[in-house]
Amino acid sequence: MTDPHLPLGYSTLAPGQIANVVTCLEMLAPPRPRAAKPGDENFVLAPWKSPSVDDFRDLFRRVGQDWLWHSRLHMPDEKLRAILDSQDVDLYRLTLGDDVLGLLELDFREAPQCEMSFFGLVPEAIGKGAGRYLVDRGIYLAWNRRTAQMPIDRLWVHTCTFDHPAALGFYRRAGFVPYGFMVEVQDDPRLTGHLPREAAPHIPLVDPK
């Protein structure tokens, strides 16, 4: 049987691969609601019903390119279409006036839990209160989406060392508790052509020659 655990010490990656440490966080009951902040009344979080694959990928790229989000960019169209149309996946857009600021995806496909599978803001919205509003509304929607006959008993999310450096503390302040770590190894999407080479400049690009 193959040992599922990484060995202690350093592990060398193949040329063109990158690795990051993932922190998994959860909450097992709804947290106490936090008081609204001035300006929260200007944000609108609305369901985004069955967007086109191209429209979804456009916002996904705007939100996630700086953090090397790429999974939905090369996922087969039919597989992505099935997720976007699923009755057990709730998709939302955050807006301020005519501007689209963020993306929220709540995945209920593995009952009785919910994963906050995608959560993020476009770069120009970071640090202006939109993230706090979005996570608080997302938590509320996750815990209140199901009826009393089919409640969730766990809400979870993950963040990683490729994300914004404040992300881990942000989720903990929102009420999530860390419960585990993973190491993700993947082909660098800037080398495979799924993201531009200048994306995520805080992550070194090691070009195998």
Task: List the pLDDT tens digit at each of the 209 positions of the chain.
Answer: 455 688 889 989 999 999 999 999 999 999 998 998 998 999 999 999 999 999 999 999 999 999 999 999 999 999 999 999 999 999 999 999 999 999 999 999 998 999 999 999 999 999 999 999 999 999 999 999 865 556 899 999 999 999 999 999 999 999 999 999 999 999 999 999 999 999 999 999 998 87
Nearest CA among 135, 96, 132 for reference residue 119: 135
Q: How far apart are CA 120 and CA 122, in angstroms?
A: 7
pLDDT attached to residue 182? 95
pLDDT attached to residue 146? 62
Nearest CA among 163, 165, 159 for reference residue 177: 159
Where do the domains of the chain lie, and which CATH numbers do they carry?
19-192 (3.40.630.30)
Structural contact between residues 80 and 22, judged by C-beta atoms closer than 8 angstroms: no
pLDDT attached to residue 4? 67
Q: How far apart are CA 181 and CA 166, in angstroms?
A: 17
pLDDT attached to residue 145? 81
**What's the pTM?**
0.92
CA terminus-to-terminus distance, the chain: 35
Q: How far apart are CA 9 and CA 20, in angstroms?
A: 15
